[in-house]
Amino acid sequence: MPYRKVEEYNIQITDDVRERYKNIIKDLGEDTERDGLLKTPERAAKAMQFLTQGYHQDPIKVLKSAMFKESYNEMVIVKDIELYSLCEHHLLPFFGKAHIAYIPNGHIVGLSKLPRIVDIFSRRLQVQERLTEQILDCINDTLKPQGVAVVIEASHMCMMMRGVQKQNSITTTSGFRGQFEKIETRNEFLKLIGK
C-alpha cells in the first residue's frame, strides 16, 4: 500500500484561500496553469491554515490539562524550544528559540506543555514582542508561579530577504514576572540558559 498522509483542513476556507492565492500568483505575472504551479494555490492555502492553527487552540486548557500539585519550589527551565512563526507585517517567517523558566508555587506543569504553549502562540500572525508577552502572561496567569521568565531569540526573514537584508541579525526579547524581576534570580536564569 502506498504512503498516504492524512491532513484535515476546512474545505470552505481551503477553497476560498486557494482562489485568492491563484489570483495573487496571476497578478504577479505567473502562469497558474503551468505544471509546477497547478497545485500551488491549494498547497499554499493548506500551509497557511497549518501555520495559523494557533488561533483554534486554547493554551490555558493545554496548561491546565497537566498541572500537578507539588512542593518543589526551585527554578524549572526548558530551553532551546524551537519556534516558527509568521511576521504579521509581511507574512514572512521568523524562527528561533524560546527559553522558559518558572518557579513553582504549589503546582508544576508537564514539561511538554511549555513547548506546546510556544507553538500555539507562534502559530498565529505575530510580532516577537507580543509573542514573548503572550507566553509569559499565559504561564503566569494560569500556573500562578512565584515567577516566570521568557527569552526569545529569532531571525526574521523580513529583515533577511527584503528591506535591510541583514543575514546574521538576531532579535532577542525577554519578559520577567514575580521572582524573576529580582536581579539575582534573573541573572541565575540568564546564566543557566547561557546568555
Reply yes or no on whether 128 is catalytic. Answer: yes
Reply yes or no on whether 88 is catalytic. Answer: yes
- Residue 56 inside a domain? The answer is no
Same domain, 132 and 69: yes
Reported as a single tens digit per residue, the pLDDT across 52-91 is 999 999 999 999 999 999 999 999 999 999 999 999 999 9
Reported as a single tens digit per residue, the pLDDT across 108-144 is 999 999 999 999 999 999 999 999 999 999 999 999 9
pLDDT value for 136: 98
* Lowest pLDDT segment from 6-10, 173-177, 183-187: 6-10
Reported as a single tens digit per residue, the pLDDT across 145-181 is 999 999 999 999 998 888 888 888 999 999 999 999 9
Reply yes or no on whether 90 is catalytic. Answer: yes
Q: CB neighbours (10 Å) of residue 159? A: 18
Same domain, 69 and 32: no
* CA 189/CA 147 separation, integer angstroms: 11
CATH number at residue 20: 1.10.286.10
Same domain, 32 and 105: no
Name the domain count of the chain.
2
pLDDT value for 3: 62
- Of 49, 87, 134, 138, the catalytic one is 87
* CA 46/CA 163 separation, integer angstroms: 27
pLDDT value for 74: 97
Reply yes or no on whether 107 is catalytic. Answer: no
pLDDT value for 8: 80
124 closest CA partner among 69, 53, 174: 53
Reply yes or no on whether 87 is catalytic. Answer: yes
* CA 89/CA 83 separation, integer angstroms: 18
* CA 57/CA 181 separation, integer angstroms: 30
Same domain, 115 and 173: yes
Which is more confidently placed, 5 or 194?
A: 194
What residue numbers bound the domain in which 31 lies?
11-51
- Of 49, 128, 146, 179, the catalytic one is 128
Same domain, 35 and 111: no
Query: Does residue 6 surpass a pLDDT of 90?
Result: no
DSSP 3-state of 177: strand
> N- to C-terminal Cα distance for the chain?
50
- Of 19, 56, 89, 181, the catalytic one is 89
Same domain, 32 and 83: no
| Mean pLDDT, residues 28-53 taken together | 96
**∠ CA 89-90-91, rounded to 5°:** 105
| Mean pLDDT, residues 81-110 taken together | 97
| Mean pLDDT, residues 15-39 taken together | 97
Residue with cell 486554547: 58
* CA 117/CA 90 separation, integer angstroms: 24
**Are the C-beta atoms of 97 and 82 separated by less than 8 Å?**
yes
